[in-house]
Amino acid sequence: MILIHELAHASIAYLLRIRVFRIILGYGKTLYARRFLGITWELRVFPLGGVTLMAGPPSRFYRLKMFLAILAGPAVHITLLTFTVGLSALLMVTNPKLTNLRLFIGLVFWCNLFLLLENIAYTNILINRVDLLQEAAIYSAEAYQNAPWEPAIIGTRGAVLVELGQLDEGIMLLKVAMAKHSSAQGKAANACHAAIGESRRGNVSESQHYFHIARSLDPQCYLLEYTAKKLAGTQG
């Protein structure tokens, strides 16, 4: 499931001519690494998530292309959710004795659901519409309650709380997510949201500190422009 998710990111990135540098499956110590098809593949100890490191030279519609490559992950989860629901219903009718298989399908369903909720919540805050914040709050809380070890879910929950004005808890979660993320891109995204949170707390120097961290970690981060506008609105 993790591999499928990361391959979805990589495939769309390839089609849009965004370079994929590395695909990491899991977290913790690297068990195996190999370069294949121009990409470094890493398998790590804890299979609880993954990350695709991608970037490209500035080009027309670059940020839109990055957004589409990122959106490919949740699109796969929607497809898998639909498939697993249909398959489970079919098995219940045709062969109710296949308990273990139905349990496995159920596990795939719930894992995809929590990751989908996280992706929807994060997309909602990036759309920057107040009417979507409540949905983002509900979905991110559900995902975090059921998978509190996943850095992407922790970071999304933190970013949502910052947008809701719960700054202390939100920034704390973003710092945790930064520490847990194995990729510079993931850390940079969390740093951007932490910068927004610190700015809203009135900590201008801390806000600029996190913004500079994000820019140094990932100069092509798709959130830099978004964050700069948020900081200008708060500090202007």
Q: What's the pLDDT score for residue 109?
A: 56
Q: How far apart are CA 200 and CA 161, in angstroms?
A: 12
Per-residue confidence band for 90, with pLDDT thresholds at 50, 70 and 90: low
Q: What is the model's pTM?
A: 0.61
User: Tokens standing for 151?
Assistant: 């850095």
pLDDT in tens, 2-52: 777 777 878 888 888 887 877 878 766 778 878 788 787 888 776 656 777
Q: Is the predicted pLDDT of residue 166 greater than 90, yes or no?
A: yes
- Domain 2-235: assigned CATH number: 1.25.40.10
The set of residues, in sequence order, having a beta carbon less than 8 Å from that of 158 and lying 6+ positions away, is: 169, 170, 171, 172, 173, 174, 176, 177, 190, 193, 194
Taking the CB of residue 231, how many other CB atoms lie within 10 A of it?
21
Partners of 33 in the beta sheet?
Answer: 42
For the residues 218-233, what does the mean pLDDT come to? 84
Provide the residue ranges of all domains of the chain, joining segments of one domain with +.
Answer: 2-235
